[in-house]
Amino acid sequence: MKKTITTSICFLALITMGCNNPIGEEVQLTIFADVTGSNEHLDVDLTIRHVEALFKFAENDRNYGDCRFIILDDTHLPTIWQAKLPPVPKNSYNKYARAAEIRKFQKEVGQLLEDLKHVPIGRNGSSLFIPLNKELSRLASSNAKRKVCIAYTDLFESSLITFNTYGDVNLEDFETQPQKMRKLLVEKAPLAKNLNGIEFLLVYEPKIQSDQNFYRISLWYKRILEERNSKVHISSSLVL
């Protein structure tokens, strides 16, 4: 009987230790900032509080991962900024040390948000879909528990590589000939066939004169992503 009680106590102790020391989950967060047009494209309402909520630090301070900022401009090779929060080494958790690491990560993200305010606005062209699809494909291959993309852009492409929504493309084709436009897109901007549940948040508030065309392009792109197993939400402000 004594041996049985001792075994039970040890088993309960192991369970308790497991509850007190949860394993962290990896989070991959990417923010796209379109600097190709006027300031309205770069109305980034993301804050540190949003980042905290996405990483769920309040639930588990062992969560870890990357926060990437991709500056969408007139080239297909955009500028990329990144802040990284490392995982907690096995069997070496210290809540005070972890809190310090999280504060350091938050400070780095906050500085990147501040730097974003000083990026020059306005370009002669806009290469959006190649960087978007490339990053989505990269995230699709990640084993992260949660993968989130927040894109501040109107999706109006003006590129010699893909197509020009301001000139050589009939914008009605996004609505009336979506398969034709999809083929044109994936030939020039390859996209993973399975996006493995990536959350894609498209944030843009169109003006009256651009509302219909934004509706056409955003709905067309939304369908492409959803068919590849992505969760897409389109709004005028960030909604988590």
- CA–CA distance, 88 with 165 (Å, rounded to integer): 46
pLDDT in tens, the chain (240 residues): 444 444 443 433 333 333 444 689 999 999 999 988 755 556 789 999 999 999 999 999 999 999 999 999 888 888 999 999 999 988 889 999 999 999 999 999 999 999 998 888 877 778 999 999 999 999 999 999 999 999 999 999 888 778 888 777 788 899 999 999 999 899 999 999 999 999 999 999 888 878 999 999 999 999 999 999 999 999 999 988
Q: Find out whether 64 and 87 touch, Cβ atoms under 8 Å.
A: yes
Look at residues 50, 91, 49, 83 and name the one whose alpha carbon lies nearest to residue 64: 83
Distances (CA, A) of 96 to 62, 92, 93, 103, 205: 12, 12, 9, 11, 41
Characterize the bridge pairing of strands 199-203 and 79-85: unpaired
In this prediction, residue 2 carries a pLDDT of 42
In this prediction, residue 42 carries a pLDDT of 61
Looking at this protein, which amino acid is placed at residue 208? I
- CA–CA distance, 197 with 232 (Å, rounded to integer): 10
What is the 3-class SS of 137-157, one letter each residue?
A: HHHHCCCCCEEEEEEECCCCC
Determine which helix (DSSP H) or strand (DSSP E) holds 178, and give its type and residue range.
helix 178-188
Which residues, in sequence order, are bridge partners of residue 32?
70, 151
DSSP 171: T
**pTM across the whole model:** 0.87
